[in-house]
Each structure stands twice: as C-alpha cells, then as structure tokens.
Amino acid sequence: MRPTVNDIAREAGVSLATVDRVLNARPGVREKTIRAVNDAIVKLGYVRDLNAANLARSRNYRMAVVLPDTESQFVQTLAKALTDAGSIAATARMELRLLRFPAEDPHALAALLASLPGHGFAGVALMAPETPVLRDAVRGLRARGLPVVALVSDLPNTGRDHFIGIDNRAAGRTAGVLMGRFLGGGQPRGSERSEVLVLGQSLLARDMIERRRGFDEVMLRDFPGLEVLPSLETHGSSSTLRQVVVERLASAPGVRGIYAMGDGNRALTQVLDTMGLSGKLTVICHELTPHVRQALEAGEVTAVITQNLGHLARSTLRVLRAKADNLPLDAGQEQIRIEILLRENLPPAPDSASDTPAEADDAA
Amino acid sequence: MRPTVNDIAREAGVSLATVDRVLNARPGVREKTIRAVNDAIVKLGYVRDLNAANLARSRNYRMAVVLPDTESQFVQTLAKALTDAGSIAATARMELRLLRFPAEDPHALAALLASLPGHGFAGVALMAPETPVLRDAVRGLRARGLPVVALVSDLPNTGRDHFIGIDNRAAGRTAGVLMGRFLGGGQPRGSERSEVLVLGQSLLARDMIERRRGFDEVMLRDFPGLEVLPSLETHGSSSTLRQVVVERLASAPGVRGIYAMGDGNRALTQVLDTMGLSGKLTVICHELTPHVRQALEAGEVTAVITQNLGHLARSTLRVLRAKADNLPLDAGQEQIRIEILLRENLPPAPDSASDTPAEADDAA
DNA sequence: GCAATTTTGAGGTGCGTACCTCATTTTGCG
DNA sequence: CGCAAAATGAGGTACGCACCTCAAAATTGC
C-alpha cells in the first residue's frame, strides 16, 4: 500500500497536524521539525493522493481559453476540439471557459486578460500574436499566480509557462522536403523549368515567416533545381487569393507545385478547379480542416502538414492542470508532432461520434 | 455544484441506501424504485465521482501486459514505453505488470493467460500472433470478466475488447505512395529500369502480409512504371538479411528503392554502407527505434512509417482502465496515427528525461 | 525563574462515495 | 387477515486528505 499522512506522522515522530502543516506549507513549524517530516516523506516514498486532496478541498479547476474571434475554419475547428476535450475533462473537475477577443485589437485582449484573475480562474491558455501590450498583460497574470500557456503560436518573450504547438520552421522544412522530393528532386523535366508558388495570408505573422524560412532553407540546400517564387499575400481574403493565383499561374507556366502556408485552402482548390488544374500540381498545405480533408481525399491536395487538434486540445488541459498543481509534465505526451497526411494515412473522420455519454447503467 | 448521491436520494424520494443499491446494482430493489432513481439521475445529470468512488473502495487497477520475449529493438522500445507510462500512471492507482512469453510457444502463452485471473488483474493487454489456442485463452479471460486489448497486431477473431495499433494495410499504402512519389512517380530515369526491393522477416506474419498488400495496391495502381520485386525473407536474422540483399542488389542493378517492412534495419543500413550505397537509394522502413532515428538523421534512411510508442503505451493504460470501469472511450484520443517521419519532422529524442520526480516542496 | 511566545498535539468535520448492519415498513400470498 | 418475505430507511465506518480549534508542551527573552 502507498504510505499515507499517518505513516509519515508515525515515521517522523510527530502528530498528524504537524505533517499537515508541513505538507501544506502552513506557518508555525520549526525548521528542524520540517526537516524531520521531509525526511520521513523521502524515506517512505510518500506521494500525496491528489484525488483525495482535491476531494477534500472540493477543488475544481476553472480554466480560460482565449482565442481570436476569427471565423477561419482553423480557429473554428480548434475551438470545437477544445470544447470537446473540456466536456470530457469535466469528470476530472475541470471547467473550460472559451473567451474570444477582437482579432485586431491588442488592447481589448489585454483588458480581457486583466479581468481574468477576479473570476477564479486557475490558468489561461492563449492564442494571440505577440505585442508589447500582450507581453505586459501576460506578465501581470503570472504575477498574480495564474499560469499562462501559449497556444499554436508561441509567445517567447512573455515568460509564458509553456508553449503548445508545433515548431513552424520545422513544419516549413517538412513541406520543403516533400515538395522537393515529390517534384522529382529538382531534376528538370524535359526542357521546362520547375517553379513553386508560395501563398500566405500575411508576411508579417510570426508563423508564416517561420514556415517560409524553413521551406526556403530546404529548397535552397537540397533542391537547387527548383525555383521558389516570392510569396503571394492573400490577407485572408478569398477574392485576393483567387486573383493573385490566376495572375501568377498565367505569367509563370512552369509552376508545378504550390505551398499554401496559411488559410484559404478552400478558395485555392476552387481556383485550381476552375482553371482545370485539379490534381495536376503538387499542392501542400497546412491544417486538416473538414474542407482540406475532402480535397485530400479527392486528390486536389497532395499532402497536408498538420498538428492534431484533438491532441493539442487535450494537451492544453493537461498542461494547464499540471501547471496549476505545480506538477511536472510528461514531455513526450505533450510534444505536438508535425504530422504529414497523405490520402493513404488519413485517419477516419471523427464523424458524429458516439453520442451516448456512457453505457448508462452500471449494472452487469 | 455537481449533484451528489444525496441530491439523487432527495429528488427520487428514497433513502441514500436505496440510491446506493441502485447505483451499485445491489439486489433487493423493486423495479419501480429503480426507475425512480434512474429518472432522478437523468434529471439532475448526476455523474458518479470516480475519484471519490475509487477512494472509498480503495481500488487499484492492476493490469497485465503480455509481450513476446523477443530481443528485437521494437519490442524493447515498446516495453520501455509501457514501463514509463506505467510509472507515471502509478499516481492514478494503476499498476502495470510486464509479462513475457516464449515467442514461438502458443501453449506457454495460453497457460500464462490462464493463470492471470487468479492474481487480481483487472485487465490484460496482449501482443501476440493469433492462434487457435490463443483464441480460446482470450475467450476464457473475457468469460471471467477480464477485458483484453490487442496490442500492435490485432486479434480480430478472439473477441478482444479493443485493438491498439495502426492499420498495417494503410501503413503499407503510405509507404507505397512515398516510395512512388520519391522515385519520381515512376517516370523512367533515362534508360534505366526502376526497381523496388521489399524486405520482411517472414511472409506469414499477419502484419507483414498486410503491409505488403497495401504497398502493392498503391504501386500497381499509381506507379506502374516502377517494378516491385518479390519480397525477400530475412527470418529475423541479420546474416540472412545481409546475404539476400547483397545477392539481389548485384543481380538487379536497377534497384532505386528499398521498403523494409520488418525488423533488421540496423543490418540493412550496414550492408548498404559497406556496398557504398548509403544515401543513394530511397529507403523506407518502419518503427522509430534508436538506430533508425540515427540512420534517418544521417540520411541513410529516407522515411520512416511509425506509430508513436509513447502514445500507444498511454493509450493502452487508458483503454484498459476505461474497459475495467466500463466507461466509454474518447475515440479520437485512442486512434493511433500512422506517422510519417522525415529528417525534417523528427521529434527531438526523448533523452534521459527529467529524472526529478517532482518539484519536491510544495511551498510557494 | 517566570511570563510571553512559539511550537506541537489531539481531535473533530467534511469532501463524495462504498459497504455494512439492523430495524422498520411494505408487499405478496395463502 | 395474518404472516413470511421482500423492500426500504437510518445510521455508522472507512478511504486519504484539508482545514479548523483549543489545549498542552516546549522554547525564548528578560
């Protein structure tokens, strides 16, 4: 049997009350006694039964997840993954509150964050671009004891407790090798020149920059025979995307591959379709949204670089909780992997999952 | 607040004892009363607090994991992943017992399984080839109330409660597309004929067969320009592998790719190295063992099809537990994905993880 | 050496559930 | 109707821990 507080008390030759004082860092215990108790803890290999402890203090973990109010399919999918994970974690005394902020308003975000400590939150997960105001807001939260984890896009200079997401530079590199190898390693195909088109909604966003850097890194080093054209900006607008793609493909007939770094994959496949190019180019994009899944199955998209959003959501909950309890993490479990999805290794659609919340009756 | 058993009793107009009888399926309650209690449960949305329940019955989940006593690096790595996951899960009242059986002796395995129910196990995870004796043994376990989950290789005809692993046919298909596309889609390269070598330790093992089927499926359909040579059997022996590979490569100078379906990747890279072929062929293999990781980083292996063993191990524990408690699973979380690893998206080595079991003192 | 202060002990209560006993009520049946 | 059997209620104990109170003991300062 695992040792309990009573065993510690006996071993240390003190009373239960004293063990409790030491365990919970309550004042009024001599240094010497503290040491005696800690020695006993080490000797017996005591570990607090977190479940019993939480039961006793009837603790519940209320966490805030702060996302931009963007309507993009990625954010939508992420929000759903988080909600799903949250409703399952409800049995583990966790409560998730999804909060949205105006995507382009750092000050509104800062104000939102500042209001959190008053509402009994035990931690915050945050997906937002790093700005000076945000840095201060995050520092403020941490100063008040709230752990903060960055979601999807890192906030390296804010002192956040953890980052949950992929290394975008490595993701870009991965896209690069795939593109290079899928296009035959850069060997010229007949007399044509092979070119690759790169799309991104904004060249200022940190993740876009990193993906592009990683992509170029590999293309330059390993596939000098392929020419990567300058990035085209879509600004998140479908019409802009359509326009620039049509324009570019007309002027550059040697384009054999497209790397779509950001959103707007739906518009992209549509353009290609109307141009009669579906399935004729190597198209690599990011994030497995419902539409992308469909395009992958149809052969309109060749490969998808993605992070498993279900995993990301569950990881968020686990990390928030571990940070709230000041417990160590299982690094391997929290490592979000850069997944390569082809039509052949596409996991089955989550579908309208098993709605039955339980086997209901416990009866045998 | 979440409703408790007391709330149920009040709502249903019965006593606590009766609610308890219903909840735990104890005898001596009228059908009508049972219904009343269940109605109250539904109405209030009651969910049993599993932590409190486990505390009360001081329950611990003791699980058996049964693996072949093979010395292959894959089984070793898997065993380690399981042990690691088990030691972390120890805080959650789980205890993992690793048991090994003589790889080639189905009867010894059956005997081992038959001995389990007597030792207070709450569930069994099993990696073994399906044989008639095994089928009976598994049925016997389940008849005695022990949930059985199949690990890595499925046991479809045994009535196992769950399978944890990947779809090997899909894995083979994935290897196929990668091979095909990496070799330029089958376009002849100059005048040479492009051939692909396939290696497997035994053509009788279910997983080898399925991988090969998936691989051929894709190669025939999508890359008719590539010729896939008949599988070479290595029987798990390094020297056999060395011999057949040397032989074949000498007689078939057009080989540009190798698909290694099973173990023996270390021997393979060695042969290629001594033949001066390192990095000159497209080599695709399975499972990220320490050696394969190294070979991937060195460019001796092009791509690895793998299942994340850490995930697999944690999934095993979660599934065993859920089955023991008769709870529903989170399908998304338990879905083991077919991962494609290139040098560029290789996750960092687990390393000699953080040995510090905790932040020690809870003090602020 | 005495009072003031600090440290410690003893004990209780509650968290939500499991499991047990014994008395009391209700039901079914002849 | 009366009686045995079945159903239900009341209440207690335990699980491992948090948190509280009050008294007793040990230590400190003067």
Give the 3-state secondary structure of residue A35. helix
Q: Which residue has the tokens 């850490």?
A: B310
Q: Do B331 and A354 touch (CB under 8 A)?
A: yes
Q: Do B333 and A314 touch (CB under 8 A)?
A: yes
Residue ranges matching CATH 3.40.50.2300 in chain B:
61-165+309-334, 168-306
Give the 3-state secondary structure of residue A265. helix
Average pLDDT, chain A: 90
Per-residue pLDDT of chain B (364 residues; tens, 9 = 90+): 799 999 999 999 999 999 999 999 999 999 999 999 999 999 999 999 999 999 999 889 999 999 999 888 899 999 999 999 999 999 889 999 999 999 889 999 999 999 999 888 999 999 999 999 999 999 999 999 999 999 999 999 999 999 999 999 999 999 999 999 999 875 555 556 789 999 988 777 788 899 999 999 999 999 998 999 999 988 878 888 999 999 999 888 889 999 999 878 899 999 999 999 988 999 999 999 999 999 999 999 999 999 999 999 999 999 999 999 999 999 999 999 999 999 999 998 876 443 333 333 333 2
How many whole angstroms separate alpha carbon A263 and alpha carbon B69?
49
DSSP B256: E
Of the options 3.20.20.140, 3.90.226.10, 3.40.50.2300, 3.40.30.10, the CATH number for the domain spanning B168-306: 3.40.50.2300
Q: Which residue has the tokens 């898997």?
A: B78
pLDDT tens digits, one per residue of A308-321: 999 999 999 999 99
Any strand D atom closer than 7 Å to A2 CB? yes
- Residue A212: predicted pLDDT: 95
Residue ranges matching CATH 1.10.260.40 in chain B:
5-48
Percent pLDDT > 90 in chain A is: 78
Any strand D atom closer than 7 Å to A13 CB? no
How many whole angstroms separate alpha carbon A296 and alpha carbon B177?
14
Residue A360 has pLDDT above 60, yes or no: no
Closest residue to B55, CB basis, from A51, A311, A331: A51
Largest CA distance in chain B: 87
Q: What is the pTM of this model?
A: 0.90
Find the mean pLDDT for residues A281-293. 95
Find the mean pLDDT for residues A210-238. 92
Find the mean pLDDT for residues A38-65. 95
Any strand D atom closer than 7 Å to B30 CB? yes
- Residue B361: predicted pLDDT: 32
Q: Which residue has the tokens 């990095």?
A: B279
Q: Do A88 and B330 touch (CB under 8 A)?
A: yes
| Interface contacts (A, B; CB < 8 Å) | 139
Give the 3-state secondary structure of residue B285. strand
Q: Which residue type sits at B279?
A: G
Closest nucleotide to B16, Cα to C1': D9
Q: How long a stretch of residues is chain B?
A: 364
pLDDT tens digits, one per residue of A78-105: 999 999 999 999 989 999 999 999 988 9
Closest residue to B347, CB basis, from A171, A335, A345: A335
Residue A361 has pLDDT above 80, yes or no: no
Any strand D atom closer than 7 Å to A60 CB? no
Q: Do A185 and B184 touch (CB under 8 A)?
A: yes
**A137-143 long-range contacts, Cβ below 8 Å, gap at least 24?**
A137/A109, A137/A110, A137/A113, A138/A113, A140/A113, A140/A114, A141/A113, A141/A116, A141/A117
Nearest residue, CA→C1' of D9 = B15
How many whole angstroms separate alpha carbon A274 and alpha carbon A19?
74
| Residue A215 parent element (H or E) | helix A206-222
Q: Which nucleotides of C are covered by protein (CB under 7 A)?
A: 6-12, 14-21
**CATH T-level fold of B61-165+309-334:** Rossmann fold (3.40.50)
Contact A64, A122 (CB under 8 A): no
- Residue B190: predicted pLDDT: 53
How many whole angstroms separate alpha carbon B186 and alpha carbon B200?
23
**Angstrom distance, A12 CA to D25 C1':** 18
| Residue A95 parent element (H or E) | strand A94-101
Residue A7 has pLDDT above 90, yes or no: yes
DSSP A262: S
Q: Do B25 and A362 touch (CB under 8 A)?
A: yes
The candidate with the shortest Cα–Cα distance to A234, out of A223, A246, A225, A224, is A246
Q: Spell out where chain B has E strands.
A: 61-68, 94-101, 123-126, 148-151, 162-164, 195-200, 227-228, 232-233, 255-260, 282-286, 303-306, 339-341
B5-48, superfamily in CATH?
Answer: lambda repressor-like DNA-binding domains (1.10.260.40)
How many whole angstroms separate alpha carbon A250 and alpha carbon A267?
17
b/e string for B163-177 if b means 16 or more Cβ within 10 A?
A: bbbbbbbbbbbbbbb
